[in-house]
Chain A
């Protein structure tokens, strides 16, 4: 048991070091190494962490989706706690996507907000997962809350591919297609240095997500355990 905990501590420390060095490298790549866009200027560099935040939010919701299915099969309470931790981080990063997107919009399009397909579907996504927590908190029975939020997490995930495909389906004039047929359409596509910086930022954000997920899950599990002990003691008193 002690050996297992020691390994765990080493793993967390290594992940922490990897995260800090990765984040510093990402900042160096963005601020210094990556070329400045000829048309948009330095503001284009907002895009690296903006896209990385969006990726992290999608990953978080995908995990909520998968864990929701697993929970409905095996009814393991820890799985539900992990899903709720992931949804919480998903909300954090969707909030960041909306704020950084708004800053991007102000500098590039001269508006803070516009009802463009991707912005609208992202805002809907944010509301969907806010509702996820409203559902969880409004139901007193923990088993019922876990079951309903799992079903909701599975259904809510439908909006994620819609957000991703929105600029392709509704042919957005503002959001360029970065991946896929971006270069062919001559409206998106990236230079190799820009693509490398973006992929590096996405990798660092994935590590950050795992770190936050672990921390948040651990805290939620402790809260659940403390509450359960308190309930048992109250019954005895």
Chain B
């Protein structure tokens, strides 16, 4: 019985972990966008 429940728990935990990983990567991109904005502002300041 325990193996049956463990199987279904593991499957859903792994799928959620993968979704969390994708979300984390999105957040990293948001940070990258911020740094791009700063770079553009720097460029505009120079010109």
Contacts and interface: CB of A to CB of B under 8 A. Distances in A.
Contacts of A215: 19, 22
Q: Is the interface of A mostly helix, strand, loop or mixed?
A: helix
Interface in A96-131: 96, 99-100, 103-104, 106-107
Interface string A73-108: 000000000000000010010011001100110110
Given A100-B10, A222-B29, A223-B25, A236 B4 contact: no
Q: Is the interface of B mostly helix, strand, loop or mixed?
A: helix
Interface in A208-230: 208, 212, 215-216, 219, 222-223, 226-227, 229-230
For this complex, into which size category does the number of interface residues on chain B fall?
20 to 34
B18 A96 contact: no
Contact of A236 (B14, B33, B43): B43
Contacts of A106: 3
B3 A92 contact: no
Contacts of B11: 49, 53, 96, 100
Interface string B9-47: 011001100110010011001001101100110110000
Given A229-B36, A230-B36, A95 B14 contact: yes
Given A100-B7, A230-B35, 4 more contacts: A103-B7, A208-B15, A212-B15, A236-B43
